[in-house]
A and B are shown apart, each in its own frame.
Chain A
Amino acid sequence: MGRVVVVGNGIAGLTSCETLRAEGFDGDLVVVGAEPEPAYSRPALSKALLKPDGGLDGHELAPASHGATELRGVHATALDADARRVALSDGSLLDYDGLVIASGSRARRLTDSPHEHTLRELRDAVALRGALAGRPSVTVVGGGVLGMEVASGALAAGCDVTLVANAVPMVRQLGPYLAGVLGASATAQGLKTMVARDVRVVDRGGHLQVSADDRMIETDVVVTAVGDLPNTEWLGHSGPLHTDSRGRLRDGVVAAGDVARWDGIRTPLWTSAIEQAKVAAATLLRGDDAPVLAFQPYFWTEQFGIHLKAVGGIPLDGDPEVLEQDDVGQLLRWTHDDGTRTAVSVNWRIPIPKLRRLTAA
């Protein structure tokens, strides 16, 4: 294989490049990154980077060692899969023998207003941190992980924060027990939460307000965290790319990370992107000799003074088995109907390998 092109320089693209090298690929490697910065840790944007007393380097990763040609600030605009050629936004064309699609996703927006803050890229985090510095009133739309982490960061920055969602925050992601734990901590720290059926962001002459059913919320800053859209338009496609259990889309083309619906499931998480990229890159070189993905999802969040780690499937129904607890933390386990288990630490320091062992039947 002469040249491999990797579209996307997030953690999936970066891991693809490093895996290709580790698997012995010594040909021409080109990685195309839409953002101007080198690859960074996206989870840090809503965690370390929003801490008012924290530095601005919490997202930085160790320098890449893959020796690829890195094209930054350019994105792919079209694919000719028969000719094995990618077109780029700077007008150039890149021929490839193997292609890794790791173009990620972008924030779903509720308006076209430039005043609607979202959090997906480094520049979004820098803009949001700037917007929070004057301690404005903040309304966060969305009760998922990102919305809650942003609300937590805004509270820590000294803002008056209201979170509006169309379900109890974190219930869809983690289930009622853990949503209750996080919600109680959020309320104790001063978060105002509103659950409404009809949530909208309204542009009133350049100033954004949030409507929740019949109520209008006056606010200085609006942040929406209402999901993401896979970046697949350049492929003439909308929605995620459906891959097989090795990340394949067609001969010589694989996908990994947030852009992919891998073997029927989309898992837009840090560790999933890494594990998928390893399998996809190996498959590009070795085909069916590469191992299929065998991976238990790992999820973590930091919000409202709670560090939560989960290994295994989520969300979680019913009450857990309490394995350990003290004044501030708990080590919990759920056993699902199919016999699989999920282990969760809530403010309980435990390494992932130990947490993983607790899920063994």
Chain B
Amino acid sequence: MTTLTAPPGKDTLMKIELDRPRCEAHGLCEEAAPDLMHLDDHDDLVLDVTEVDGAALERARAAVRVCPVAALRLV
């Protein structure tokens, strides 16, 4: 099976979405993108920035990818 997807443009503006029930507060996303999100004192993830492009988009991608329960996605 072969699938082809077009590479997204570098200056696309994308939105970070959190599927809160899936989040297990591993916090690996915060390590990858501390300027975009953090776990609060109750270990609930807070998205400090939701729309990203450019270099921030790359950090958001890293944060999405490192989550072992796929609680984050970019749309």
Contact = CB atoms under 8 A, between A and B. Distances in A.
B1 A60 contact: no
A67 to B, nearest CB: 3
Size class of B's contact patch? 20 to 34
A65 B61 contact: yes
Interface string B1-36: 111111110000000000000101111101100100
Given A26-B7, A41-B68, A274-B66, A351 B39 contact: yes
Contacts of B28: 271, 298, 352
Given A67-B6, A352-B30, A15 B65 contact: yes
Main secondary structure of the interface of B (DSSP, over half): mixed
Given A22-B61, A351-B27, A351-B39, 19 more contacts: A18-B65, A21-B7, A41-B70, A44-B68, A60-B70, A61-B70, A62-B64, A65-B5, A65-B61, A67-B7, A69-B2, A70-B3, A274-B65, A300-B68, A350-B27, A352-B28, A353-B27, A353-B31, A353-B34
Contact of B43 (A66, A274, A300, A350): A350
B47 interface: no
Nearest to B64: A62
B39 A69 contact: no
Contacts, number: 86
A271 B66 contact: yes
B5, B8, B22, B68 pick with most chain A CB within 10 angstroms: B68
Contacts of B8: 65, 67
A349 B68 CA distance: 16
A333 interface: no
A274 B62 CA distance: 10
A307 B66 CA distance: 19
A351 B25 contact: yes
B73 A62 contact: yes
Interface string B35-75: 00001000100000000000000100110111011101110
A58 interface: yes
Contacts of A307: 24
B2 A18 contact: no
Contacts of B72: 62
A226 B26 CA distance: 27
B2 A71 contact: yes
A309 B26 contact: yes
Contact of B1 (A43, A73, A271): A73
26 contacts: A15-B65, A18-B61, A41-B70, A44-B68, A44-B69, A48-B69, A60-B70, A61-B70, A62-B64, A62-B70, A62-B74, A64-B5, A65-B8, A67-B7, A68-B5, A72-B3, A274-B66, A298-B28, A300-B26, A351-B26, A351-B27, A351-B39, A352-B30, A353-B31, A354-B27, A356-B31
A315 B33 CA distance: 29
B43 A349 contact: yes
A48 B5 CA distance: 29
